[in-house]
Structure 1
């Protein structure tokens, strides 16, 4: 099927724009920017750099950061489909001995922005398009790489290091060209009871952290949250019963934000074209100016399956754009053009 030749039905004209969640399995940021502009340029307000190279598998590259901390030691830990190191504070050391080196997010953003700026000046990228920088919430690498009994001590130090990265990104990239997305996945693994953790009141504690991260992004830099149930090993860590936890966390964030939320991304499992999954969206308290993107584009069932999910969602979310559930980093590169064509077929351009 040539999805690029399909047009969006008039009945779905309220489906506008697309979001690229983050990672993309291409050679480098130049390839990602060029590919995105060519295939979805008129549908995109922002383009990420694809988290290429060592960053392609989300937080896995942060193992090197933890290994560089002299006060930490590790042992291999079985995480299901893979084995990874897990860290603890060395005997005789304390949290006061922990000094994180630069995490690498700021240096990657600076390098990618230089490419982004050059492609914008040459006309490949539209002038209105922002550079989207995707950052994991600090809870993610700490929960993944630190034994639970040491997470309380280490998490504030890693968060401080991440916010230092954010400050460096904001200082380098013009604010009217920058968009920051906080990737929020491990939080839902904790809320769904999948991962061990050190929180006394998980939902309250996690929302407080997300509010803090959101408010750390200064205006006029744009702010977005990508909420996720993961795709490690090609599957969710748990299939959500419906969108209720996504809505509860979002509304909790909104209750504490002192700045605007520019966009929100929520995942939609490919099996869920039923109204029950989307019904909690009726309680979503986002403002009209906040763009909602639903991750209901799945390559497995193409345009037809995507339109079925759109039809169910429209009863509870009158206006939204489309996206995949998670980043594309684990996909086969040759499948990307067809996947982008599905986005374009089911949504209208933003300009």
Structure 2
């Protein structure tokens, strides 16, 4: 049996989705099991947000500026018809109204405040809002030929959502997490046929990050979840090691001019070898940035988690722990509680 690491992490990160039945149950359950380990807490993304960016597909499908691709192209994973510009529509005509994220978050923030007032959550915890990047949404649901025509309008709409979040939730209580998924898979460079490569060079990807972070007020915490997908509770592709993710982290440090509160990267369940973690020796985090390794897995429990923690410590001395992605899709409530218990058993509350 693997021994408990001499120094257990004192901070845990909840990546986003948590497959419990309600926002109130998410706050109550996570607070009870994880207590002061929590620096920020998401609402669990219930209902239509459970399937991440699929929440946006009906909105895009209902747009008068878009239509199902006349060529019949389908989204490879979900089977959704891919979308193209509607006949006669030019790129400068495309616009979107509310995307729904700010409205959902403002409602959940009321539940967050109530849970915190009842003592169910730490008094200094922030309310975490997880957002897909505009590129992540449009590159998932539009045909390659039209992604660059549609993305700017969606980016403007997403930045309006961010502005509404920052206007409706006190900055000291707010943490915004950008979910960097489809970009991560493109950046990694492994063969894939799920996402277009047009306008997707590494400099172009970082330029997008710079734009969507530039107007977030300094008092709002900003973080990033680097992701390899979670469709069917599996990554789209598995990272070969941490090299590509270290490149992105260092790119964030060089590109984002405002403070970055945290960065999270995934660790596959079968990677407890030094080769996976060795690239972390080149990691350059922004000053004051918390780092989370997504090495908590329910399938091999606290023993496997301790094993990965022990190997990771050889290459990065300080980190918190997380799962590799959200814990809602293709997961039942009993597995959620089991996973949260692994979080608790593999960490300890700060002194």
Do both proteins adopt the same fold according to a TM-score greater than 0.5, normalized to the shorter chain? yes
Equivalence for 1:308 = 307
Which of 132, 145, 148 does residue 149 from structure 1 map onto? 145
Q: Deviations over 1:249-284 (max 9, x none)?
A: 111111021111111100000010001111111111
Equivalence for 2:321 = 322
Equivalence for 2:7 = 12
CA distance in 2 between counterparts of 1:299 and 1:93 reads 48
CA distance in 1 between counterparts of 2:249 and 2:66 reads 34
Measure how far apart 1:198 and its partner are.
Answer: 4.5
Equivalence for 1:33 = 27
Q: Does 1:119 align with 2:115?
A: yes
Q: Does 1:185 align with 2:184?
A: no
Unaligned runs of 5+ in 1: 1-5
Q: Deviations over 1:283-342 (max 9, x none)?
A: 110146211110000111111111111111101110001000000012211112221121
Contact 2:74 2:82 in 1 (8 A): no
Contact 2:148 2:199 in 1 (8 A): no
Measure how far apart 1:16 and its partner are.
Answer: 2.2
Which of 25, 38, 42 does residue 48 from structure 1 map onto? 42
CA distance in 2 between counterparts of 1:38 and 1:133 reads 21
SS in 2 for 1:327: coil
SS in 2 for 1:27: coil
CA distance in 2 between counterparts of 1:163 and 1:264 reads 21
Equivalence for 2:106 = 110
Which deviates further from its counterpart, 194-203 or 41-50?
194-203
Q: Deviations over 1:218-275 (max 9, x none)?
A: 1111011000111112221111111111010111111021111111100000010001
Measure how far apart 1:214 and its partner are.
Answer: 2.6
SS in 1 for 2:131: strand
SS in 2 for 1:11: coil
Equivalence for 2:128 = 132
Measure how far apart 1:78 and its partner are.
Answer: 3.7
Contact 2:294 2:323 in 1 (8 A): yes
Contact 1:16 1:350 in 2 (8 A): yes
- Number of residue-to-residue matches in the alignment: 345
Unaligned runs of 5+ in 2: none
CA distance in 2 between counterparts of 1:182 and 1:97 reads 27
Summarize the Cα distance change of 1:201–1:42 in structure 2 as closer, same or farther, 3 Å threshold.
Answer: closer
CA distance in 2 between counterparts of 1:179 and 1:61 reads 21
Q: Deviations over 1:30-50 (max 9, x none)?
A: 111111111112211010000
Contact 1:227 1:266 in 2 (8 A): yes
Contact 1:103 1:162 in 2 (8 A): yes
Which of 86, 99, 119 does residue 90 from structure 1 map onto? 86
Q: What's the TM-score, normalizing by structure 1?
A: 0.94
CA distance in 1 between counterparts of 2:92 and 2:265 reads 38
CA distance in 1 between counterparts of 2:239 and 2:139 reads 20
Q: Does 1:162 align with 2:174?
A: no
Summarize the Cα distance change of 1:299–1:232 in structure 2 as closer, same or farther, 3 Å threshold.
Answer: same
Which deviates further from its counterpart, 77-86 or 287-296?
77-86
Q: What's the TM-score, normalizing by structure 2?
A: 0.94
Contact 2:5 2:310 in 1 (8 A): no
SS in 2 for 1:179: strand
Q: Deviations over 1:84-121 (max 9, x none)?
A: 12111112111222221210000001000011112222
CA distance in 2 between counterparts of 1:209 and 1:41 reads 35
Equivalence for 2:348 = 348
Q: Deviations over 1:171-197 (max 9, x none)?
A: 000000010000011002222342342
Contact 1:44 1:350 in 2 (8 A): no
SS in 1 for 2:52: coil
Which deviates further from its counterpart, 77-86 or 182-191?
77-86
Which deviates further from its counterpart, 232-241 or 163-172?
232-241
